[in-house]
Amino acid sequence: MSDWIKWLLLGLLSIAFGIFVLGAPVVASIAVTMVTGVLLLISGGLQVVGGFTVEGVGNKILSLIMGAVMLFLGWSFLDNPLEGTLTLTTVVMILFVAGGIARIILSFQMRGTQFYWPTLISGVLSLALAAYILANASIGLALSLLGILLGIEMLFNGFGLVFMALFIKSAPNDVTEAKEA
């Protein structure tokens, strides 16, 4: 099987899963929370183990505290996935605000270039999305948001892989045609 077909199949699979996730966003949001909980437990455990190997009392204490916090968060997400989903949705909203503010500040440093308006608009849209999430902070939206974002990302990723596969398929033909001309 050629490489472009593998990329095409992977892209189509990502699109199919994206559609599936968008069909059940609450289930996907809870799954994201559960995976986050497992990853926090693993990284927290590794952080605690690593804390015993670092040098310096301050570094050791900081590493052990950080590991304990990650273990606590991981266990909390796994023990209470609905509350964990609400927490992660709040974190996403905060990241939208921080990213929006950062891009707006960056856009003013780009004033007079072709990148000013796209960067400014991108930042404003991030702030608008955060405001929309905050204004509609119902349990339903909060529980669905992570799944919706995951589904959209899977669709974008799938389409990107499909386009890349088609590019790879046509690339050798373009190189051959350029050599013949």
d(CA 1, CA 168): 14
What mean pLDDT do residues 14-42 have? 95
Structure confidence at residue 177 (pLDDT): 56
pLDDT tens-digit profile of 109-132? 999 898 899 999 999 998 998 888
Domain count, the chain: 1
Answer with the residue of higher pLDDT: 140 or 158: 158
Q: Residue 28 falls within a domain, yes or no?
A: yes
In a domain, 23, yes or no: yes
Label residue 173 by pLDDT band (50, 70, 90): low
Note whether residue 177 is domain-resident: no
